[in-house]
Structure 1
Amino acid sequence: MMAVPLSVLEVAMVQAGTSAADTLRDTTEFARRAEELGYRRLWYAEHHHSPAIGAFPPVVLIAHAAASTSSIRLGSGGVLAPNHAPIVLAEQFGTLAALHPDRIDLGIGRGPGTLDEPTARALRRGAGPATDDQYRDDVAATLGFLLDDDVAAHGPPPEPWLLASSTSGAGLAARLGLPVAVAHHIRPDNTAAAIDHYRARFTPSPWCPGPRVLLCVETVCAPTEQEAAWLAGPMNVVKAGLLKGRGDIPFPPPAQAAEHPFTEEELRGLAGFRAHQAYGTPETVVRRLTELVDTTGAQELMLVTPVHALKDRLRSYELIARTSTV
């Protein structure tokens, strides 16, 4: 049995041969099923200008999922502070928290959500990437607006989290006294240092009395190891593109991914990444997740499962939910 709660990160992959509208329709069924399976929270990620990931604003997906479910916590994982005015984030998530009390999380991240420079500049209205100071000020301003009389009048605020993939982000979460969501599924080599840095420097705040770590892990589960590897194939193609700084790679079906000509360098990079995540049969995946909890001390795990078909994605979460409670 897993010793910590399990949650879900939804990145809304757009499968080759389908439309963004198809992906949006899937999000409703996915949210309902995640709630039925007992997952604690469901977060949505902000992405832009990618053929593989839908450009769906997290705040809109949260509102839609909240109207289709009744108990699962919903939030952003994350909404990207440099792309939004702090007061707008506070008003949007404050309103969601008023409409769905004690169910809304505001997970804040830093990146632009795209590798396309013109898109990144459009999101920033022509400005360049946010500096460390600008990001810190944006996060602090958002937290301040959550407590402002106009927003606070809506009711209790959403629960704020800071996303981190490095000691820099983890250090900011520690200074502000926020729970931290560590992007192990993006930069696993930084996980241990980021968590240690966060715990060593944490300052209690009204938001969080002590260090609180959520670890996000890429997870693909199937009845056999072979099928899990087959289902992971499409994301391997996308990752191989990302390793070369390309964000324009579509999300192919598994049969097409199985024929993709990876270079030796790409295969080494992908193997190194997989070694830090959780793929395989239910028993293998739950054992690996348990090891990650034991080595990191994470108080919660968030699973992201970028596989091609909704039925396969749901089955992965079903197998883990069933096995983790045994």
Structure 2
Amino acid sequence: MIELSVLDLVPVREGHTPADALREAAVLARHAEALGYRRYWVAEHHNMEGIASAATAVVIGHVASHTSTIRVGAGGIMLPNHAPLVIAEQFGTLASIFPDRIDLGLGRAPGTDRATLRALRRDPTAAESFPDDVLELQALLAPPQPGQTIRAVPGAGTEVPLWILGSSLFGAQLAALLGLPYAFASHFAPEALDQAIALYRERFQPSHQLQAPHAMAGVNVIVAESDAEAKRLFTSLQMRFVGMVRGDRGLLQPPIDDIDAYWNAMERMQAMRMLACSFVGAPGTVAKGLRDFLARTEVDELIVATAVYDPAARLRSYDLLKSLDL
């Protein structure tokens, strides 16, 4: 059986608040834990009205405190936005409170626009030092060495598992070189998925953390009792991606009956290109689509995003997904 995990962007729904979104995240995490999902990740985004996970380490602590066994982590922390020492301290603290449950996925994109990047007081060229920053962070989380003058407290010796995230060949090569697990962001940028996974496996070098390659793919999944119901629920995510095309990253909207009345042909093409790794329908429809995807990619794990407006329908989708024979 393929390992299944949850990617929660902590969506803020139209008519609701970030506080509501954070409460719903805790409910979903408990539900995922009870169903046997492997891990529950949240991601760093800034200046986005519809996403409540900007303070990612704080959200991870919130979710971990409401669960007891599921792994909780970042998918991911955008490392160019932070000093490695600060991230080592944050995740070292989380690992000290929740031992053997914390994951740290690392990305090199800013997770925002250039104006917000300036507000974060970060240099736009910071991404160029991403490989060195990963190594520095890794060293700060390792057992301290004799004569080491800078230590993360908490952090040193916790060896929080690191992941490299990416949507291009760069991350695949870095993950392979460092012997780290690799997660591909195919839930919104699927174009290079097959090439990146193949390159990662081909160049993987065993490390202290990982002896064999471990590849995870992000996918959008909405399962409902019928294809028609699932497709209607999917319109909330489709509208969110049209908003990205239009430069309007607003709240998650309720589903609509006719998505074709909402977008034009160009918006449809751009949104559905980004949503190519989406599996929407009744259980049988989704099972077939995911089996074909797994046969093609041979990934070791799927991390599933389910952006559904109705919280009960979102929980039900994860129920139905976990019951599929994959």
Please, which of 109, 126, 132 is the counterpart of residue 130 of structure 1?
Answer: 126
Corresponding residue of 1:78: 76
Matched, 1:89 2:87: yes
Q: 1:261 to 1:299 in 2, by over 3 A?
A: same
Partner of 1:141: 136
Amino acid at match of 1:118: A
Aligned-partner residue type, residue 127 of structure 1? D
- State the shift of 1:32 in Å: 0.6
Matched, 1:174 2:176: yes
Equivalent residue, structure 2, for 1:213 = 215
How many residues were matched structurally? 319
* Native 8 Å contact 1:237 1:260 kept in 2: no
Within 5 Å, give how 1:95-114 maps onto structure 2: 95-114=93-112
Deviations 1:265-297 (A, max 9, x none): 122233444443211111211222222221111
Aligned residues of 1:98 and 1:155 also touching (Cα < 8 A) = no
Query: Does structure 1 retain, via aligned residues, the 8 Å contact 2:140–2:156?
Result: no
SS in 2 for 1:323: coil
Distance 1:305 1:126 in 2: 31
Equivalence for 1:298 = 299
Rounded Cα–Cα distance in structure 2 between residues aligned with 1:50 and 1:264? 26
**Preserved CA contact (<8 Å) 2:142 2:158:** no
What do residues 42-68 of structure 1 show as CA deviations (whole Å, max 9, x unaligned)?
Answer: 001111111221243221111112111
Mapping 1:162-311, distance limit 5 Å: 162-244=164-246, 246-255=247-256, 258=259, 261-311=262-312
Percent identity at matched positions? Answer: 39
8 Å contact from structure 1 (residues 97, 155) kept in 2: no
CA contact (8 A) 1:164 1:183 kept: yes
- State the distance in 2 between where 1:163 and 1:61 align: 19
CA distance in 1, matches of 2:5, 2:75: 11
Hey, what's the Cα distance between the residues in 2 that align with 1:145 and 1:73? 21
CA distance in 1, matches of 2:19, 2:54: 10
Match status 1:8 vs 2:6: yes
**Worse-matched range after superposition: 197-206 or 143-152:** 143-152
Rounded to whole Å, the distance in 2 between the matches of 1:4 and 1:202 is: 21
- Secondary structure of 2:68's match? coil
CA distance in 1, matches of 2:204, 2:36: 30
Q: 1:292 to 1:205 in 2, by over 3 A?
A: same
CA distance in 2, matches of 1:219, 1:106: 23
TM-score by length of 1: 0.92
Amino acid in structure 1 at the alignment position of 2:34: E
Contact 1:51 1:251 in 2 (8 A): no
What SS is found at the alignment partner of 1:14?
coil
Deviation at 1:228, TM superposition (A): 1.0
2:59 to 58, 61, 72: 61
Q: Is the 8 A contact 2:224 2:283 kept in 1?
A: yes
Query: Given residue 121 of structure 1, which amino acid in structure 2 is its aligned partner?
Result: R
Deviation at 1:221, TM superposition (A): 1.1
| Distance of aligned partners of 1:274 and 1:81 in 2 relative to their CA distance in 1, 3 Å threshold | closer
SS in 2 for 1:189: coil
TM-score normalized with structure 2 length: 0.92
Question: Structure 2: how far apart are the matches of 1:320 and 1:27?
Answer: 18
Conserved in 1, the CA contact under 8 Å of 2:190 and 2:276? no
Structure 2 gaps, min length 5: 145-150
More displaced stretch, 251-260 vs 58-67: 251-260
Structure 1 residues 48-98: Cα deviation after superposition (integer angstroms, max 9, x where no partner): 111221243221111112111111011000011011110111121122122
- The separation in 1 between residues aligned to 2:157 and 2:135, in whole angstroms, is 20
| Aligned-CA RMSD value | 2.0
- Name the SS of the counterpart of 1:17 in structure 2: coil
Residues 257 and 45 of structure 1: CA distance in aligned 2, closer, same or farther (over 3 Å): farther
In 2, the alpha carbon distance for the partners of 1:33 and 1:242 equals 30
> Which amino acid counterpart does residue 287 of structure 2 have in structure 1?
V
